[in-house]
Chains A and B, each alone.
Chain A
Amino acid sequence: MNIVVCIKQVPDGPTIRIDRQSMTVVREGTKSIINPLDYVALEAALYLKSRKGGVVTVLTMGPPQSEEALREAMAVGADGAFLITDPAFAGADTLATSHVLARAISRLEPFPDLILCGMQTIDSDTGHVGPQIAEELNLPQVCGVNEIHVEEGFLMVKRLSDNFLDTFRVTLPALLTVNQRLFPIRHLPLGALEIAFSQRDIIKWGIEELNLKAEEVGIKGSATRVQQLYSPPQKREGKLITGSPQVLVDNLIKKLEALSILDEEHGSG
């Protein structure tokens, strides 16, 4: 089974800095990690490989530093890695990103049986790229998968969607996005890390290798633009009280009384 996992390198925690000119995140200096749900997707791919054999390839579109994420993925067990990078790709929205990734995937030999992505990233949180890759490659999709069973000739997958527990029969090729509860995350063996960083090769593809035009990618290839970023406005009173627990509780109860929360008639029971 040939599986491709799309991963993204994302900023780690609230250490994010924004370049207000281009309205994009500054990558240098911030610590980066593999997007947690993409990690889960990778685990799912390795599980399927252990059951059906085959090859797991990881792909990422990002700046050169994204190589770190690919090497970490190889330490986890991926067989091959592609870094899709080019200054022209910067500032892309999901429309342009999915276009570049779909083009890269379509260049793989052989074309994958299955594409796995994390359901969403912790930085942009849109969850769009998976479905948009599926659309461009004309593949069926199931999003938010939290259970995968391997059968003869197809996969049975489950997911929870708006309070419905859906079970799907998926024939390949297809694209799945995975959700939190799929697999627990394993800890990396240190030796695998060493090998991934010192001995493995990564293939780099840019705008030329992918036969793309400037207007199809990056900011030019995007339909949406971030016009501005701002901290949410604070319109709260913000009264801060310190003191002994008794003082704090007294103030709290005073507020409850002021809001009529403690009145007899409060609530419908």
Chain B
Amino acid sequence: MRLEPSMKQEVVRRTARKFAEDRLASVAVEMDRTGLFPWDIAKEMGELQYFGLEIPSRFGGAGLDTVSCSIVIEEISRVSAAMGLCVSVHNSVSAYPIYSFGNDDQHERFLMPLASGEKIGTFCLTEPNAGSDASAIETTAIRDGNHYILNGNKIFVTNGGISGINLIFTRTDPDEKGKNYTVFIVESDRNGLEKAPTEELMGMRGNPVCPISLNDCRVPEENRLGEEGHGLKIALTSLNGGRIGIASQALGIAQASLDVSIKYAKERYQFGKNISQFGAIQDFLAEMATRIEAARLLIYRASYLRDKDHNYLKEAAMAKVYASEVAVEATRIGVQIHGGYGYTKAYPIERYYRDAKVCEIYEGTSEVQRIVIARSLLGN
């Protein structure tokens, strides 16, 4: 049993960290302040294959294993959680499904622009009445000759504001019985796809999350991903991998909190002593570090199982629920360690605090993750 990253994975970490610290650190604060997505940095990242992490090189991707991908997302998120989110979602629930379930034509038309970062991808599932209950979606795709007409409203679409390629989760059978879920690839410039203004969020600012609506959007059958009725399988498979990505993102936020908290504690003086000497502060740091380490190992385990093509449903859910709750706790403690300064924008910890919360919600809430884990334990 190897519990250490390989030589390659060490270099991957170093490479991603160097890029993130050199190129992302300067824009992370601006992104949060303005909510604007840094296209120039994204272009650089595309050239370096950050948008095709596990896509094979013949499609222009990096062809990395899951553990390496997790490391990359963690390192990006450590500097900018908003960009880490963009990279994670683009890779695991947009590019990956097209790679895994798409045909040659779709690989050429869609996968290659995604892998190179030329186009950013989304996965549109959530609707006003369908959050945790994904099966309650009302977006329809009605067949019309060799086209489908799509109608519906998707909300909270990560990367929505900047996407070029969108996976739309629909029902091809509007009747109650059947529940034929089907996924379609819809280009942002296709007639009938409309994007509403970006949401104003608590955190992850700079990732343009927005509603996307389909209004009599005519989509050719060549854009259907897999067969009619395959939608559920595609969604569940992709979201499973996506959970590992989000867990890594949360881990990056938690690690960043620990790093800045240690630095602050060593510089702050009260009652004639350095606060890092106080038991309360030491307890905080020890707790943060321990949980971060545990989260990291859960992520590596889920990644490892995925690489081995084993079932990793339970482990991915464990990694996601645990890492996201660690991120929320670590950032809470981090602000506390910083005291009053932690509440100001002069220190990055308040941004980490705001960024962390959503990790417990998206890509399957913590409650949903626990259902998944319990079902796996109970043999459902």
Interface residues of A (CB under 8 A from B): 31, 33, 65, 67-68, 71-72, 75, 187-191, 193-195, 197-198, 242
Contacts and interface: CB of A to CB of B under 8 A. Distances in A.
A187 B23 contact: yes
Given A193-B62, A194-B62, A242-B272, A187 B22 contact: yes
Given A195-B57, A242-B269, A242-B272, A190 B11 contact: no
Contact of B11 (A68, A189, A198): A68
A197 B11 contact: yes
A33 B14 contact: yes
Given A187-B23, A194-B64, A72 B48 contact: no
Given A33-B14, A67-B7, A71-B8, A189 B19 contact: no
Interface in B4-39: 7-8, 10-12, 14-16, 18-19, 22-23
User: Interface on chain B toward A: helix, strand, loop, or mixed SS?
Assistant: helix
A194 B272 contact: no
Contacts of A197: 7-8, 11
A191 B63 contact: yes
A189 to B, nearest CB: 5
Contacts of B157: none
Interface of B: 7-8, 10-12, 14-16, 18-19, 22-23, 44, 47-50, 52-53, 57, 61-64, 68, 72, 269, 272
Contacts of B14: 31, 33
Contact of A188 (B7, B44, B48): B48
A190 B7 contact: no
Contacts of A187: 15, 18-19, 22-23, 44, 48
B320 to A, nearest CB: 23
A194 B8 contact: yes
27 contacts: A31-B14, A65-B7, A67-B7, A68-B11, A71-B7, A71-B8, A72-B11, A187-B18, A187-B19, A187-B22, A187-B48, A188-B15, A188-B48, A190-B16, A190-B48, A190-B53, A190-B64, A191-B57, A191-B61, A191-B62, A191-B63, A193-B8, A194-B68, A197-B7, A197-B8, A198-B8, A242-B272
Contacts of A193: 8, 11-12, 15, 62
Nearest to A72: B11
Most buried by B among A187, A188, A195: A187
B123 to A, nearest CB: 22
Given A193-B62, A194-B64, 10 more contacts: A31-B10, A33-B14, A68-B10, A71-B7, A187-B23, A187-B48, A190-B15, A193-B15, A194-B62, A242-B269
Most buried by A among B7, B18, B61: B7
A194 B19 CA distance: 17
A139 B301 CA distance: 53
A71 B53 CA distance: 19
Contact of A194 (B48, B63, B269): B63
A63 B61 CA distance: 33
Nearest to B20: A187
A118 B194 CA distance: 55
Contacts of A189: 47-49, 62
Contacts of A198: 8
Contacts of A65: 7
B304 to A, nearest CB: 17
Contacts of B269: 242
B84 to A, nearest CB: 15
B129 to A, nearest CB: 39
Contacts of B16: 190
Contacts of A242: 269, 272
Nearest to B60: A191
A163 B238 CA distance: 61
Contacts of A191: 49, 52, 57, 61-63
Nearest to A187: B19
A197 B12 CA distance: 11
Contacts of A75: 11
Contacts of A68: 7, 10-11
B77 to A, nearest CB: 16
Contacts of A190: 12, 15-16, 48-50, 53, 62, 64, 68, 72
B7 to A, nearest CB: 5
A188 B49 CA distance: 9
A205 B63 CA distance: 31
B37 to A, nearest CB: 20
B218 to A, nearest CB: 36
Contacts of A72: 11
- Counting from the closest, the 6 A-B pairs by CB-CB distance are A190-B62, A197-B8, A191-B62, A190-B49, A187-B19, A191-B49
A65 to B, nearest CB: 8
Contacts of A33: 14
A67 B7 CA distance: 9
A193 B62 CA distance: 8
A194 B69 CA distance: 11
A188 B17 CA distance: 11
A72 B61 CA distance: 18
